[in-house]
Amino acid sequence: MAEFMTKKEFDKLNEKIDRLPNIIQDKITISMHQFEKNMNETNKRNQKSMITWTLSGIGLLIAFAGLIGNVLGLF
């Protein structure tokens, strides 16, 4: 390896250094979009889970009300 760089090698290295912030910014942007997409999917799953649990809880309450009504002779 030579002790000194040629002008061409220096320009090439300088170009890479100049592009580095753009590359890092692109990677950050991509990872932020992936994180947002993941969070949206998680929120949708949680919302569906809450709706399911709520409907099943209401169903159980109705079933218990019917059972109590049967035992008391109301129905």
Q: pLDDT tens for residues 15-46?
A: 988 888 888 999 999 999 999 999 999 999 99
For the chain, give the mean pLDDT.
91
For residues 56-73, average pLDDT: 93
Query: How far apart are alpha carbons 68 and 6 in whole angstroms?
Result: 92
Is the pLDDT at 12 greater than 60? The verdict is: yes
Look at the pTM and tell me if it is higher than 0.95: no
Query: How far apart are alpha carbons 18 and 40 in whole angstroms?
Result: 35
Q: Helix or strand or coil: residue 74?
A: coil
